[in-house]
Amino acid sequence: MASAEYLDESPIEFGQIRVVQSSSAMPSQDSMEPTFSLPIGLPLSSSHSVPLPFPMSHGTTTLAFIFQGGVLAAADTRSSCSGLVACPAAQKILPIHSHLVGTTSGTSADCALWKRILARELRLYQLRHGRRLSTGGAAKLLSHMLQPFKGTELSVGGQQCFGRERSGPSLYYVCSDGTRLKGTLFSVGSGSPYAYSVLDQGVQWGLTVQEAVSIAREAVFRATYRDAYSGNCVDLYHITSKGWTRRNREDLKEEGVHPQWRVSFSTLTVETARE
Amino acid sequence: MEYLIGIQGPDFVLVAADNVAASSIIQMKHDYDKMFKLSEKILLLCVGEAGDTVQFAEYIQKNVQLYKMRNGYELSPAAAANFTRKNLADYLRSRTPYHVNLLLAGYDEADGPGLYYMDYLSALAKAPFAAHGYGAFLTLSILDRYYRPDLTRDEAVDLLKKCIEELNRRFILNLPSFNVRLIDREGIHDLEKLTLGAK
């Protein structure tokens, strides 16, 4: 009885308070100033609203890309809070169901919560309609669920990866500011520029699985090298039409020098998916 | 960062938008389409804050389609523009204003082609040519100088290319490619993507 009551309210009923951004751009009374209003400010500024109880910081490197063998997702495992490493063994890639994996970036608590809400909603959809929601639909659902919270300090930068026979693999980037993009290569987080530069050089459709895995690890490694807020180990998930498989977590600290990677590569073990 | 442009001719409207979807300093996507098809002869071009653009544009798009389903005929471009303006104005003084800049381009059987400029404060103006974004500062004077009401389609495309060349020369940001579409009596036509900036 109690559990039914608890699930009655949908979280998207929560309201939000948002400061009107356009108030600063209203034309001034002073006729000396030119009265044109400047276009939107630089994208680096974000809207501030309700003050937080304590400052939240986040740093991560996650990436995902599509190639002929499916979708590969990789992420570091450092969970940082301002200047300290809160957890060196966090899990930033969360499977949502057997064929859908989401990476998280931003505030860990928010990401974990919203991934669970998304998993619940997808399962409900599957039970009600008898078929799975597509990745695009799941991404749109998440994007719409996050929309009422725009302007608050909610920070969720996630990607969805999918491998399916009929429509092929697909990859979407969803962010708490409302962005939803379909693409073939995304990297999210404070270490993402470093990862992008490595991925842009090597990722193409025709990669073999081994090549894709090695370039994904290289990208995360380079990002963790330069970004203080990314580090520790790297997680890799490979999604195909048969589902996702997880590679063993590898500690990047032990492989500081590049040539040693090739040696340890051959001893990877692969866990197969379980429902 | 983003750029929209529209040029109205005697029996057509030419519109173009850049293809970059950016997040802070990173180009997340190089082939992003900023045009939303409201009906067979109306296009909505939408730029602005990250999630607001898609949310608002899709809201308008679905409502225009709903009108058609309920009433059996489509909204005219002028009606769609005013509907959009009303919605934007209603949200402006709510707790959740949409920060979007729009161009609405359409062809009406009775009134001919129309281009409507709307900014985030929901100011609506019907204009022969219009542009949004930082690039507008660089290209509006080119449009002022060379625009004529009786432009042919080729001349309009040349004028568009002049504007984009100026952007490539003087704008600090890299906008490598642009989607170009033309609306006339027959509907919406996709023209060739302009990639004057890509090396």
Tell me what the mean pLDDT of segment A112-131 comes to.
91
At residue A15, the pLDDT reads 43
For residue A10, the surrounding DSSP H or E stretch is: none
A256: pLDDT confidence band, cut at 50, 70 and 90? Answer: low
Closest chain B residue to A182 measured between Cα atoms?
A: B29
Quick one: angle between helices B134-146 and B153-170, nearest 10?
Answer: 140
Is B51 in contact with A143 (Cβ distance < 8 A)? yes
At residue A272, the pLDDT reads 44
Which residue in A18, A40, A175 has the most chain B C-beta atoms within 10 A of its own C-beta, making it the best mutation to test that interface?
A: A40
Q: What is the pLDDT of residues B47-100, one digit of tens each?
A: 999 889 999 999 999 999 999 999 999 999 999 999 999 999 999 999 889 999
Residues in chain B with pLDDT values less than 50: none
A34: pLDDT confidence band, cut at 50, 70 and 90? Answer: very low
Class of domain A62-261: alpha beta
Q: Is A263 touching B (CB cutoff 8 A)?
A: no
Closest chain A residue to B26 measured between Cα atoms?
A: A193
What is the pTM for the complete model shown? Answer: 0.78
CA nearest to B16, candidates B103, B100, B138, B120: B103
Residue A140 has pLDDT above 70, yes or no: yes
At residue A134, the pLDDT reads 86
Q: Is A185 touching B (CB cutoff 8 A)?
A: no
Residue A273 has pLDDT above 80, yes or no: no
Which range is most confident: A103-107, A221-225, B38-42?
B38-42
Pairwise CA distance, residues B71 & A208, whole Å: 54
Chain B residues with CB under 8 Å of A196 CB are: 26
Q: Is B140 touching A (CB cutoff 8 A)?
A: no
Q: Rounded to 5 degrees, what angle do the CA atoms B176, B181, B184 make?
A: 160
CATH of residue B158's domain is: 3.60.20.10
Domain spans of chain A?
A: 62-261
Tell me what the mean pLDDT of segment A61-65 comes to.
91
Is B49 in contact with A177 (Cβ distance < 8 A)? yes
Could you tell me the CA-to-CA distances from A205 to B2, B90, B159 in Å, in that order? 29, 46, 38
Number of folded domains in chain B? 1
At residue B198, the pLDDT reads 56
Could you tell me the CA-to-CA distances from A55 to A51, A61, A82, A153, B99 in Å, in that order? 9, 20, 8, 10, 26
Neighbours of A248 (CB within 10 A): 12
At residue B95, the pLDDT reads 85
Residue A60 known to be catalytic: yes
Q: Counting Cβ atoms within 10 Å, is residue A272 exposed (0-12), middle (13-18) or buried (19+)?
A: exposed
Q: What is the pLDDT of residues A157-212, one digit of tens each?
A: 776 666 654 678 889 998 888 889 999 999 988 888 889 999 998 899 999 999 99
A237 φψ region: left (φ > 0), alpha (ψ -120 to 50), beta (else): beta
A16: pLDDT confidence band, cut at 50, 70 and 90? Answer: very low
Q: Which residues touch A32 (CB under 8 Å, ≥6 apart)?
A: none
